[in-house]
Amino acid sequence: MHPQNMTQRHADSGSAFWRDSALPFIEARTVADGRRVCYARHSHETFSVGLIDSGSSSYINGCHETRIDAGTLVLMNPGDVHACNPIEDQPWAYRMLYVDAEWLGELQAELGVGWAGFRRFTPVMTRDPQLREGFKRFHAVLIDDQAEPLEKSGAAIEFFSAMHRRLGMEPAAPVSEPKLGCAAEFIATNYQRPIKLEEICATVGVSPSSLIRAFKKHYGMTPHAYLTNRRVQFARAELRRGLPIADVALAAGFADQAHLQRAFKQLLAATPGHYRGQRRA
């Protein structure tokens, strides 16, 4: 586990909060039994988006009042008076993300869909299947203690950029190929150490949202996936030399052997031990 990926978890009455000092602009909450967590009408300073995982509940947001079911994403702008509560003591479960409005406003400016400050969302809910699956993928990365800051911040930008596109707010033009080449070269040169998204962007001279979108379109993978692939290819070459797996993992830039194992198997459909054992005498 990377030190910067240490999280804080607090469980009470079937709910848990997640925080990470590497991503101070976002907080997550998981509620396994919504019957035990009831709310009076309230508002947040943050932008909130949540997924109903199971069951149903009542949902109030301003003048909107409706029933929401599993698969629904709810959206609350900063200052929106809202409440979600169980229906006749029926069980329901959900996950919420609370996002700093200033960070999201800066992302909107980078996408070319905002102006000074945060731009409010018009929908208060959506059942878009792509956004639902995107939320699940992002949440899984967010709470993964083995995920690096580059992967988490990249996943945040990817999800919220997709949310703007799916809700009708198109992002700005893509990054030029030479700049994408410089970004790939920076990753290929620095893969043996932890890399932050801000480092790549500062080197290339583009915004994080523009880089994430253009890099994935051009290379078919995110900057973090590109980084992981580079590390696995290095590990593959070192394992062919018969070097110890634990040493190879650290030399490649992975946090530990388990992290190498997971990435190696995912990309090459074989464990490092199996691959290393096939070398010729």
Give me the pLDDT at residue 172, please.
57
* CB-based contact 241:202 (threshold 8 Å): no
Please report the pLDDT score of residue 169 as a whole number: 77
The domain that contains 151 carries what CATH number? 2.60.120.10
- Specify whether 193 is located in the same domain as 112: no
Q: Are 126 and 237 part of one and the same domain? A: no
How many structural domains compose the chain?
A: 2
* CA distance linking residue 166 with residue 39, whole number of Å: 29
Query: Residue 115: what pLDDT?
Result: 63
**Token reading at 18:** 């997640």
Residue with tokens 């009076």, as numbered in its chain: 40
Co-location of 101 and 78 in the same domain: yes
Does one domain contain both 278 and 142? no
Name the residue with tokens 């509940």.
57
Q: Are residues 61 and 30 in the same domain?
A: yes
Please identify, among 120, 144, 165, the residue that sits at the C-terminal boundary of a domain.
165
Q: Say whether both 91 and 198 belong to one domain.
A: no
**Boundary of a domain, candidates 147, 165, 183:** 165
pLDDT at site 13: 57
Q: Are residues 158 and 181 in the same domain?
A: no
Query: Which position has the token pair 């999800």?
Result: 159
User: Could you say which of 144, 165, 186 is where a domain stops?
Assistant: 165
* In a shared domain, residues 41 and 143: yes
**Cα(122)–Cα(106) distance, rounded to whole angstroms?**
18
The residue range of the domain holding 264 is 173-281
Mean pLDDT of the chain: 87
172-199 tens-digit pLDDT: 556 888 899 999 999 999 999 999 999 9
| 79 plus 50 within the same structural domain | yes
Residues 131 and 8 in one domain: yes
Q: What's the pTM value of the predicted model, to 2 decimals?
A: 0.75
Domain CATH code at residue 212: 1.10.10.60
Q: CB of 58 within 8 A of CB of 94?
A: no
pLDDT score at 4: 45
Do 66 and 156 belong together in one domain? yes
* Nearest CA among 125, 142, 134 for reference residue 160: 134
Is 259 found in the same domain as 146?
no
Per-residue pLDDT of the chain (281 residues; tens, 9 = 90+): 444 444 444 445 578 889 998 899 999 999 888 777 777 788 889 999 999 999 998 899 988 899 999 999 999 999 888 888 888 878 889 999 999 999 999 998 888 886 667 888 989 999 999 999 999 999 999 999 889 999 999 999 999 999 998 998 765 556 888 899 999 999 999 999 999 999 999 999 998 888 988 888 888 888 999 999 999 989 999 998 889 999 999 999 999 999 999 999 988 888 999 888 755 43
